Amino acid sequence: MIEVEQLSDPVVRAFVAAVNAGDREALFALLTPTATMSDDGTERDLEDWVDREIFSSDGRMEVESESDDGRSLLVTYTNSTYGAMRTAWRFIVAGDKLSRFETGQA
C-alpha cells in the first residue's frame, strides 16, 4: 500500500485525503466548477455520486499503486454499501483542481 502522503500528484493526494477524512468541503474545493465524473464508463451526476458513494457510505481509499505521474491509481475502495472492491481511478488535473475523475472496478 502507498501512504496518502506519498502520492505523487498533490491534487490527487488531496482528493484521497479528503475522501479518507470524510471531508466533503475539502473534496469539493478541489473540483473545478464544471468538473465531471464517470463510474464504470457511465457518466454520473458528480455531486449525487460523491454524496452517495463516498460521504453517506463512509468511503475509504487504500492505494495499491499509482501510475501516470500519480494521476492513475489502483485502489481498494471500501464503503458501507458495497464493502471492499478493487477499483481503478483516473484523474484529470487542471492547475490545482480536478476537472474530471473516472472510476470503475479493476
Position 67 confidence tier, pLDDT thresholds 50, 70, 90: very high
CATH code, 4-105:
3.10.450.50
Annotated domain spans of the chain: 4-105
pTM (two decimals)? 0.96
**What pLDDT score does 7 carry?**
98
Question: What is the pLDDT at residue 17?
Answer: 98
H helices, E strands: number in the chain: 3, 6
Task: Supply the pLDDT for residue 61.
Answer: 98
- The residue assigned the cell 452517495 is 52
